[in-house]
């Protein structure tokens, strides 16, 4: 069974961690999020630039 995914309410980073965002260190995580985008190259991605993402990884489109 796959680990539950959680999204960070502060930076939208998606993590399998239960209590801590691996991107910004926030403990403000939620399992209520919609959509997912994968940023592979944060330097070239226009989506990453639009969303203010500076690190590659998976991000929620909307966090509840
Ligand atoms: Zn975060």
Query: What does the pLDDT look like over 8-53, one tens digit per residue?
Result: 999 999 999 999 999 999 999 999 999 999 999 999 999 899 888 9
Number of domains comprising the chain: 1
Distance 42 CA to ligand 1 centre (A): 16
In a domain, 35, yes or no: yes
CA atoms within 13 A on the CB side of 57: 19
pLDDT of 47: 87
In a domain, 12, yes or no: yes
Distance 29 CA to ligand 1 centre (A): 8
- CATH of residue 43: 2.20.28.90
In a domain, 16, yes or no: yes
pLDDT of 29: 97
3-class state of residue 60 by DSSP: strand
Distance 1 CA to ligand 1 centre (A): 25
Range of the structural domain that residue 54 is part of = 6-63
In a domain, 1, yes or no: no
The pTM of the full predicted model, rounded to 2 decimals, is 0.84
In a domain, 24, yes or no: yes
Q: Over 90: is that where the pLDDT of 1 sits?
A: no
């Amino acid at each position: 069974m796959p680990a539950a995914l959680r999204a960070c309410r502060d930076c939208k980073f998606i993590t399998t961690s239960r209590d801590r965002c691996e991107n910004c260190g926030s403990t403000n995580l939620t399992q209520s999020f919609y959509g997912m985008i994968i940023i592979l190259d944060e330097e070239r991605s226009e989506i990453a630039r639009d969303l203010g993402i500076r690190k590659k990884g998976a991000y929620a489109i909307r966090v509840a």
